[in-house]
Amino acid sequence: MPAQVDWQLAKSRGRELDVTLRVDPFLDEDYVDDADIEEVHAASSVRSSNAAYASNLQKVFAESPRIRELKVTLYHVAEWPDLVHEALNDGRIWPRLTHLLLHNYDHWEEPATFDMVLPEVQVLHLDSITAVDWTRLKLGPALSSLDIRDTLGFRELSTQLPLCCSIRKMKLMDWTRAQDVLSFDALAFGAISFPQLEELTIWWETIDEQSLIRFLAACPNLRDLDVTIENLAERDIVDDTDIPDYTLCLMGLSLSIIESGSRQDLFGPLASKLSGEYLRALTIDNLLLDARNFLPFLFQCRSTLKVMHFQYTHLTNIARAPRSGGEFPRLSKLKLDLQCEPASRFGDSNVTVPPGDIDLTTSLFLSILPPSPPARSMDVRISGAPLGDEYIRRLVAGIVGPGSIRLDVIYHDYGGRPPEHEIKISNGHPGKPFTCSFATPDFAHGFRAICMVSELRERIVRLSVDTARAPHVFLQLQ
């Protein structure tokens, strides 16, 4: 095997190298993948007594000045192999390294030290890595993509980021729930700016929203914001006097709260900082929104919004919220999941959703649909709560375009609540397809409401029903 590595290194003729190293003691033997003239893939088992393994690594890491991409993945090991760790911890400069990926499939090896100078690194991906001291990993201004997943010590690593003003994408994820509150304090003070940051994704258990709001002020060109959390960090005293005035003109916004025992309002503190003027996609999951904050933002998105997804979401204070009519002319995809128990859904005994507000929420969401079939394709899916006749007629009349239509009937028995029928209406028009799916207490109820829409009954050319439910469905039609 060393001879093969020698041949690949010679074949590359001094060009940049892409190195993929697999550390797995359960591999039968060392092997090197096929590679083209610009790449060396040194994938090896890790056994200290394996002379071929040691020889391969020494030869490959001796070429570090021309390594462009380095991917190291650990399998079934509790600590970094000595030869690998030495190469990543000797303070050497990696002058051409643009992509670095370190990944432990088994989550968190023994803490190690990464002493690397990376002046040209553009993509940094750390997955389930544990470091003694992240400050010795020297990053430079070329960094454009940062992907941190289940990696302990982000607070220390974040002290390096103020030097990385060219970051375009940042993804911070921790589903292990083993870390402290996610704070952006190291990135949200003084003249620090991230003018090129366009995409920010956060999936964390608890976040300090005040520091996030300050950090967003340093990201004037942010286009996509995706935040999924379980809790907002509680502060004894909330000091927002030093938060600058700014407006983010996002194109994509996704806000989600995981089911937990402490649901808090995630949109409210951000409301005054967001503009919907250019928003194209909006996802809201498991939030209880104050309509006085949310509706003005939603109506501001009216002329640009193409995709909306609301799940387990209801509005409060609707009666006191400002209203604004008008169609959403570019809307082509709408998903509503109205399944939400008034209080227990959020696990908060202090939060209640009056039945009237639930009905108003349904009515409000459906009111954004066009009053007549639009000159564009549409996909509307409503689940979680059976619709009454009025809502069904409004829904179908605003979406179902000309031509023949098909009905598919799907029976749902959830076990904890009354069963319901899902009716899916669709056509086969290649230029302007539409799909409309909604729940009804029984098929006959939904079918009669559909047929009350002018001239719709005559255009039904196919009815598809699950065989086991067919007798029940057709008896309902008598």
What is the mean pLDDT for each group of 10 consecutive residues in the chain (478 residues)? 68 83 70 39 44 79 92 86 88 95 80 90 92 87 94 84 92 80 81 91 90 91 93 64 81 85 73 92 89 90 93 80 76 83 45 60 81 86 84 87 86 73 84 86 84 83 72 57
Flag whether 356 is in a domain.
Answer: yes
Together in a domain, 327 and 418 = no
Flag whether 233 is in a domain.
Answer: no
Together in a domain, 263 and 292 = yes
Flag whether 173 is in a domain.
Answer: no
Question: Position of tokens 């108003």?
Answer: 360
Flag whether 276 is in a domain.
Answer: yes
Together in a domain, 362 and 396 = no
Together in a domain, 379 and 466 = yes
* pLDDT given for residue 42 in this prediction: 40
Flag whether 461 is in a domain.
Answer: yes
- Residue 408: domain span: 370-478
* pLDDT given for residue 39 in this prediction: 46
Domain total in the chain: 2
Together in a domain, 405 and 450 = yes
Alpha helices in 186-306 (DSSP H): 209-216, 268-271, 291-300
Report the 10 Å Cβ neighbour count for 173. 16
Together in a domain, 388 and 316 = no
Asked if 153 and 134 touch (Cβ cutoff 8 Å), the reply is yes
Together in a domain, 270 and 357 = yes
DSSP string, 346-361: TT-TT----HHHHHHH
Together in a domain, 311 and 390 = no
Structure pTM? 0.86
C-alpha torsion angle, residues 206, 257, 264, 290 (rounded to 10): 150
* pLDDT given for residue 88 in this prediction: 92
Query: The dihedral of CA 60, 61, 63, 64: what is its sign?
Result: positive
Together in a domain, 385 and 360 = no
* pLDDT given for residue 261 in this prediction: 46
* pLDDT given for residue 477 in this prediction: 56
* pLDDT given for residue 43 in this prediction: 40
User: d(Cα 248, Cα 242) in Å, to the nearest integer?
Assistant: 18
